[in-house]
Each structure stands twice: as C-alpha cells, then as structure tokens.
Chains A and B, each alone.
Chain A
C-alpha cells in the first residue's frame, strides 16, 4: 500500500496504490488524518492503482467525504478500476461520493 500526497494551495491530490484492505486501512486512516483535519477544499483521489477495497476502506472514504463536505469542499475519486467501481456501486457509495 502506497499513498502519495501532493498539496497545492487548498487542493490536494492523493494517489493510492495497492490493496486497501482491513489491515492497510488503518495506515490509510493515519495518512489521511491531516486531510481530515485540514482545510483543503478540493480533495482528489487517484485510484488508478487501487487493486482492492474492503468495507473498512470504504468507511474511510466515507469519513473523508463527510469532512470535506462539512468544510464546503469537494472530494473526487478518479480512475477507479471497473470492479472497484462496482463495489462503490453496489454499496451505494456512488450516491454519496463523486466518482469520475
């Protein structure tokens, strides 16, 4: 699991690669803590190399979404693999999170 965070003004680009399963989601949550507590208005998460996402992983996306929305920002997930997108679809996350 790898996370790369690039910050520019109030925009932030996060690149996730590898498997976001239960064990790595804790690490993901830690990495995201500055973002959760920060003030970036635009949060973009590149999921090109995201191989797997567990329900725990989804939970973190959900937490990020809530925080960003709370500060009138916007979070976007880009370049999801089809089967990942399917998970988002099934669970109904596509209704909450902006996925392109």
Chain B
C-alpha cells in the first residue's frame, strides 16, 4: 500500500514538474468574483489536471492593460467581459472566448429616487466608470432613446454617497454591495437591473489568443474543466470559498471585509445561473444575443468591423 502511495506521489510530482506554467489573469483585483478560480487552485483541481496555474491579478499601478499582457503573451488566459472581447476582435486582435462564466448581466442602476422604469433615467446625472463602459451607455441610450448626463467616475460609490450624482451604474455583485455596506439600505424601488429591460449581454468570460488556443487545445480544455469544477465546488462550499477569497485579498493587501465577499459570492453565483436552463451550465452566449450586441456596437460606432460569432466563441 505504502509503495503505491509513494509511486502515486512520484507520478503526480512528475506531472507537476513537466507541466508548463500557465498564467491566468482575472479582470480585477482579488475578490470573491474569482472564488471559483481560487478554489480550483487551492483544492488542487488544476494540479489534478496536470496544470500549473498562476493566478496573477492586475495591479492598479500597472500602465499596461490586461489585454496588452495577453497579446504580449505575458498572460495566457484572461478574464474579460464580452463587449471588450468583441471590440478587441473587431480591432483584429485574434482572441477567443473559451468559457462564458456569467449567464446574464449584473449591470444595474442605483438611484437616490425611485425608478419606476428605464425612462426615468432620462436627463439624470448618472455616475459611470471611466473605463470600458461607454459602449454600454451608448447602447442603452440609443436603444431606449434616452439622454443621460453621464458623470465619469474613478471610484465606484463615492459620488453616489456624497450625492453629487442622481444615480450611479453598478455591478450587482460589486459596487451595489459596497453601496449597501456603506449606506445600509437602498430601497428596492430605487434600483434597476438592465437585464430586466432587455439588456441580454452577459459579462465575464475567459479569453485566450487564438494562436495559443490552437497550440494548447488540450491544456485549455483541462483548464476549463478544472475551473468549472472549482466554481461548482465554491457553489456548494460557500464558506470555504469566501475563506479562500479573503485569503487572496489579504495576500494582495486588499482592504475589504468578509460580509462584502460573502454577498459578492452569492450574487456572482446567481449571475452564473442560465436563465434558459435554470442551471449554472457555463453555456456559451447564444449566437442571436451575440449578433445583437455586435449590431448595437456597430450602430453606436464602437466597432467598425463586424465580428462573427464563430470567430469569438468556441
């Protein structure tokens, strides 16, 4: 028996030793949004697939964008929302979406006043991130024929808290939770989910360079498999998943609190539920939704070259 264990350990170690180091970069600083990856790494799911995965978070001081890191090959797998992915592909960066994690949009709007409908946003002064969300704003405005006074912001919540804006854009799993933990309670009638108004674009997915994909198809399959396993484990072991998330936060000197990570995990896992199947099935975005988004981006002049579903989704 002992011999078998020794042999097994030796085999595992040899796999580990032979495995090429793969660097995965989530799209933001450590938080429970990436709990599934942390769990997969901590539980050894990647290792069991013969993978040596390094989770490398973006650093706020870095001048390079995450996408640049990917194109330069410093990072092998990148977490990214669907719109930037389409945009990059349209610009000719040959990347592929290898896994769609969230199944619906967590984008929402939190107001100081009640919102009976999306029309209410008209003429409102609304906080919006400085980076990466102007496409969405334009889509919403043009789709719903709204005229919104967007206020660019760096920090997600302070403009709202200091009431220098009427409302602010939020992700339900992140800023919204920060807001809740800052002001205690936000009336349900003051919030609005864009998904409820027909905005079907899902957000977080994993992308790789097409060239990398072609070369390491098997590695990526195994990575995807282990990642799914990690998320499924996190779903059934939420306390542990939060523990691990907190550990990553601490290691990266992220100032946070457990309540936030816990609430974030819950919401993020909810976003992973496919509205069509009712299950967290990591289904790829369907082609029609994809094409709708491409068309909307074309219409708002965010892309000039049409990107096809097959180019991006594998």
Task: Report A-B touching, CB under 8 Å.
Answer: no
Residues of B within 8 A of A (CB): none
